[in-house]
């Protein structure tokens, strides 16, 4: 396949970053969590977000020297302020631990190397050339709560998503328990990956063999279940509930953080993903790039409310907040399930 080398690198980078995040989430302390300064939509950021971004950025630059463009969520602005020295040290230590744990990189990064790696995610993207797209921790609120989150990495080629690697460290390997995402299972940690035209695969994060996945075959909305954001601030629950009711959906919504929803959808844990951000919010491309190809390559559909595909070619953010949709192969759902993009 055309992007095999890139996909292998993406899987390696996302897996490594997911292991770093797992370690941080297990021992999360208050000083690991920060509030981003100067943002209209306040959101937390942790040492895991920064560490994951530095790791992925470093690994991709090692694998593809010279031809590198990355659009990623975080930057080092807050880390360069007075008083941030201790947190930068902690991130550097984490990044070095996981780089050497892999065995293929015999390097020790300095704090400045780590800050530079984080800042290499400032590309503006667009419709020309190739750009990596990274959400180093998607669902940071879920991550801090001890719930679901994802490391989401995709590659754009001339404005289209051509591959995605979506690591979901807390998603159970088997669908049981998904209806109750808080239910703790022993076997958790999935990595979904997809390359355009090649289908979607899921493997345990520990690296054993991958299986092909398919979206749900449910055709009757009465038997369908739907996903939505855990955070009411991120998606209007009242509106999705109304739409679900109109569709005839009987099941209660499955509320889950992050692009784990796309991963769960791709293996048929549910049939629909509804997303309606509140007024004026513009979606970021890293919140949908990896998840959308994971769903489409598994036979699903991800479109806006008018049936148009999501447009990843316009830079870091979507354009106007137009309602958009995602879901299974069943066309009657496709007209009725929305993500706002
Ligand atoms: N106000 C508002 N409206 C809509 N979306 C927002 C908003 N604020 C943040 N975000 C983005 O939502 C990302 C988290 O994904 P979800 O909304 O799917 O998950 S959650 O259940 O709400 O946690 C989250 O991603 P991370 O920042 O990577 O966690 C944000 O990019
Ligand atoms: Mg964030
Ligand atoms: Mg995100
Ligand atoms: Mg994030």
Which pLDDT tens digit goes with each residue over 261-274?
999 999 999 999 98
Residue 294 pLDDT greater than 90, yes or no: yes
| 15-27 per-position pLDDT tens digit | 999 999 999 999 8
**Residue 324: band (very low, low, confident or very high) from pLDDT cuts 50, 70, 90:** very low
Place 277 in a pLDDT band, splitting at 50, 70 and 90.
confident
User: Per-residue pLDDT tens for 160-202?
Assistant: 999 999 999 999 999 865 555 555 566 899 999 999 999 999 9
Residues with CB under 5 A from ligand 4 (ion): 73, 135, 137-138
Dist CA 95 CA 117 (whole Å): 11
Contact 326, 296 (CB under 8 A): no
What domains can you pick out in the chain, each with its CATH number?
Answer: 4-213 (3.30.540.10), 221-340 (3.40.190.80)
Of the pLDDT bands very low, low, confident and very high (cuts 50, 70, 90), residue 332 is very low
Ligand nearest to the CA of 257: 1
* Average pLDDT, integer, range 88-112: 94
Tell which phi-psi region holds residue 248, choosing left (phi > 0), alpha (psi between -120 and 50) or beta: left
Q: Write out the chain in H/E/C secondary structure.
A: CCCHHHHHHHHHHHHHHHHHHHHHHHCCCHHHEEECCCCCCCCEEEHHHHHHHHHHHHHHHHHCCCCCCEEECCCCCHHHCCCCHHHHHHHHHHHHHHHHHCCCCCCCCCHHHHHHHHHCCECCCCCCCEEEEEEEEECHHHHHHCCCCEEEEEEEECCEEEEEEEEEEEEECCCCCCCCCCCCCCCEEEEEEEECCCCEEEEECCCCCCEEECCCCCCCHHHCCEEECCCCCCCCHHHHHHHHHHHCCCCCCEECCCCHHHHHHHCCCCCEECECCCCCCCCEHHHCHHHHHHHHCCCCEEEECCCCECCCCCCCECCCCCEEEEECCCHHHHCCCCEEC
What percentage of the chain exceeds 90 in pLDDT? 71
- For position 54, what pLDDT does the model report? 98
Residue 86 has pLDDT above 90, yes or no: yes
Mean pLDDT, range 307-333, rounded to an integer: 65
| pTM, full prediction | 0.92
- Please state the rounded mean pLDDT for residues 299-305: 83
Residue 325 pLDDT more than 50?
A: no
Ligand 1 atom closest to 231 (CA): 22
Q: Is 228 in the pocket of ligand 1 (CB under 6 A)?
A: no
Token code pair at residue 143 = 């991550």
Q: What number does the ligand 1 atom closest to the CA of 278 have? A: 3
Q: For position 202, what pLDDT does the model report?
A: 98
Ligand 1 atom nearest residue 340's Cα: 4
| Across 121-129, average pLDDT | 96
131 lines ligand 1 (CB under 6 A): no
pLDDT at 173: 94
């Amino acid at each position: 396949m055309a992007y095999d080398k890139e996909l292998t690198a993406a899987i390696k980078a996302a897996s490594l970053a997911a292991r770093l995040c797992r370690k941080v989430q297990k021992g999360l302390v208050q000083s690991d969590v920060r509030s981003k300064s100067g943002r209209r939509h306040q959101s937390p950021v942790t040492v895991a977000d920064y560490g994951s971004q530095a790791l992925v950025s470093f690994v991709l630059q090692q694998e593809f020297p010279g031809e590198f463009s990355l659009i990623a969520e975080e930057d080092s602005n807050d880390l360069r302020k007075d008083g941030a020295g201790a947190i930068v040290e902690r991130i550097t230590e984490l990044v070095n631990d996981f780089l050497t744990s892999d065995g293929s990189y015999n390097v020790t990064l300095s704090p400045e190397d780590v800050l530079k790696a984080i800042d290499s995610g400032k590309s503006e993207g667009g419709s020309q050339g190739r750009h990596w797209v990274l959400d180093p921790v998607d669902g940071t609120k879920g991550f801090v709560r001890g719930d679901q989150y994802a490391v989401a990495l995709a590659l754009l080629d001339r404005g289209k998503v051509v591959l995605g690697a979506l690591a979901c460290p807390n998603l159970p390997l088997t669908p049981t328990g998904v209806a109750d995402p808080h239910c703790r299972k022993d076997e958790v940690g999935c990595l979904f990956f997809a390359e355009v035209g090649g289908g979607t695969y899921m493997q345990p994060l520990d690296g054993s063999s991958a299986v092909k996945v398919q979206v749900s075959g449910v055709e009757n909305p009465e038997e369908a279940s739907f996903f939505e954001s855990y955070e009411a601030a991120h998606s209007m629950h009242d509106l999705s509930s109304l739409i679900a009711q109109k569709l005839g959906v009987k099941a209660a919504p499955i509320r889950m953080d992050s692009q784990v929803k796309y991963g769960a959808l791709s293996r048929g844990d549910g049939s629909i993903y509804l997303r309606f951000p509140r007024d004026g919010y513009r979606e970021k491309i890293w919140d949908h790039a990896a998840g959308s190809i994971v769903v489409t390559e598994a036979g699903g559909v991800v479109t806006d409310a008018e049936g148009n595909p999501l447009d990843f070619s316009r830079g870091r953010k979507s354009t106007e907040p137009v309602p958009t949709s995602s879901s299974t192969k069943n066309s009657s759902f496709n007209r009725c399930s929305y993500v706002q993009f």
